[in-house]
């Protein structure tokens, strides 16, 4: 019987993870299968128990269960515990251990689009949700930039996120309008919200009027591949970075944690891009 891996969340109808991970198993001639497990909230606890009974060897966790899964695990990695969310679970000799590969996957991808060290950058993160926190904490823990500012429609949420950071990086919290007025002071702008995601492709998370052309604008959205935010940044001569790299690399990191084998990241990216361009 092939080794079982999977994805837990709800709903999962449009997830590309099964396609990407099963292709990676096939390329490496591994007798393994990755399956989507859409679990309605009312059945979450019993469904996780059933997956453990099946001796599932690893699984990804997506919305809305990245926090809820933690109480069902035997151990949580320190960074995932600090972030307060798990997206990757590994079965290690019957013990289920949780990690967060979202932040590391994103940062690894971002580094390919940015010149120089992140430690010398002034970074603005748009949004104060789970993705923002994973990216914020990972950048701060691994690179300690000059400053990381959080802007959000609700400034109080941005302030809570900025003030709770357990690392020594300088932080700031501000409104969207204040961020727009200070945009020319930032080297990297990262959108972690769903604003601009299909089908609402004409929406912007913030205005880029004062964007400097030396800056890099990053959007974790990958559908569409080029959001309105990225199109406007490109028109101003700034660098751009979309969410495909984060999606691929968080999946590659999860695959490696499960199997101790690094998959072909270029092949994973190719299958994701070819699928998205057909939609």
pLDDT of 279 reads: 67
Give per-10-residue mean pLDDT for the chain (279 aa). 95 92 98 98 97 97 93 96 95 97 95 93 95 94 94 96 93 98 98 92 97 97 93 98 96 98 97 88
Binding site, annotated residues for shikimate: 15-17, 62, 87, 102, 222, 250
Calculate the CA 86 to chain-centre distance: 11
- Residues flagged as binding site: 15-17, 62, 87, 102, 127-131, 152-157, 220, 222, 243, 250
Spell out the domains of the chain, with CATH numbers in brackets: 3-99+245-277 (3.40.50.10860), 103-241 (3.40.50.720)
Q: What is the pLDDT of residue 1?
A: 77
Please, where are the H alpha helices in the chain? Answer: 17-27, 44-53, 78-83, 102-111, 130-143, 155-163, 176-181, 228-235, 244-259, 265-278
Of the candidates 26, 52, 54, 66, the residue annotated as catalytic is: 66
Helix (H, G, I), strand (E, B) or coil at 209: coil
Is residue 172 within 8 A of residue 204, CB to CB? The reply is no
Nearest to residue 137, comparing CAs of 170, 173, 103, 174? 103
Q: pLDDT tens digits for 58-107?
A: 999 998 999 999 999 999 999 899 999 999 999 999 999 999 999 999 99
Whether 66 is catalytic is: yes
Binding residues for NADP(+): 127-131, 152-157, 220, 243
């Amino acid at each position: 019987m092939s080794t079982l891996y999977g994805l837990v969340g709800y709903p999962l109808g449009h997830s590309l993870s099964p396609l990407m991970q099963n292709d990676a198993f096939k390329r490496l001639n591994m007798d393994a299968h990755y399956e989507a497990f859409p679990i309605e909230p009312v059945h979450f606890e019993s469904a996780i128990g059933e997956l453990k009974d099946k001796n599932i060897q690893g699984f990804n966790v997506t919305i809305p269960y990245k926090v809820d899964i933690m109480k069902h695990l035997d151990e949580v990695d320190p960074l995932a515990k600090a972030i307060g969310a798990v997206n990757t679970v590994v079965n290690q000799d019957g013990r289920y251990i949780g990690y967060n590969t979202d932040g590391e996957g994103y940062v690894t991808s971002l580094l390919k689009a940015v010149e120089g060290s992140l430690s010398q950058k002034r970074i603005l993160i748009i949004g104060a949700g789970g993705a923002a926190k994973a990216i914020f904490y990972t950048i701060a823990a691994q690179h300690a930039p000059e400053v990381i500012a959080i802007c959000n429609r609700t400034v109080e949420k941005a302030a809570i996120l900025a003030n709770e950071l357990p690392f020594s990086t300088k932080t700031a919290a501000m409104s969207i309008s204040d961020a727009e007025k200070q945009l020319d002071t930032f080297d990297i702008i990262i959108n972690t919200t769903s604003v601009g995601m299909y089908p609402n492709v004409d929406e912007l998370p913030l205005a880029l009027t004062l964007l400097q052309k030396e800056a890099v604008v990053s959007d974790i959205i990958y559908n569409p591949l080029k959001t309105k935010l990225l199109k406007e940044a490109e028109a101003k001569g700034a660098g751009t970075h979309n969410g495909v790299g984060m999606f691929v690399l968080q999946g590659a990191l999860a695959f490696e944690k499960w199997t101790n084998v690094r998959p072909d990241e270029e092949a994973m990216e190719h299958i994701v891009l070819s699928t998205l361009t057909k939609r």
